[in-house]
Amino acid sequence: MAYRTPVEVGAAVAALRRRAGLEQEDIAVRLGIDRRSVDRIERGQRRLSAWELAVLAEVLRVEPGLIMGGDEPAAVMLRAAGANEAAIGDALAAFEVVVREVLGARALEELL
């Protein structure tokens, strides 16, 4: 599994926080830190402790690996289910084919 750099972790935290509809202050309160520290985390200037990562994942309702790992969520789920790298690649490729076919079918429906 590839891990994100601090800047990438911060960007992931910021995106997940916004997706959850939370402000930096909301995260700060839950982590017991000030809002500036959350801002520094989101800019990659401050690393998360293990405890902060666990609490943050709970608050954002995601697995900690989604914050720290560089893999896409689908790959993380397949790996957690026991898939090896080859199987993950095959599954993601098959998923892309299905998505293209579904989108093509929808476009065709709109034309008819």
Could you report the per-residue pLDDT of 34-45, keeping only the tens digit for each?
Answer: 999 999 999 999
Per DSSP, the three-state class of 14 is helix
Give the chain's end-to-end CA distance (angstroms, integer): 45
What the block records as the tokens of 21 is: 């509809």
Coil, strand, or helix at residue 9? helix
Residue 76 in this model has a pLDDT that exceeds 70: no
pLDDT at position 86 is: 82
pTM: 0.62
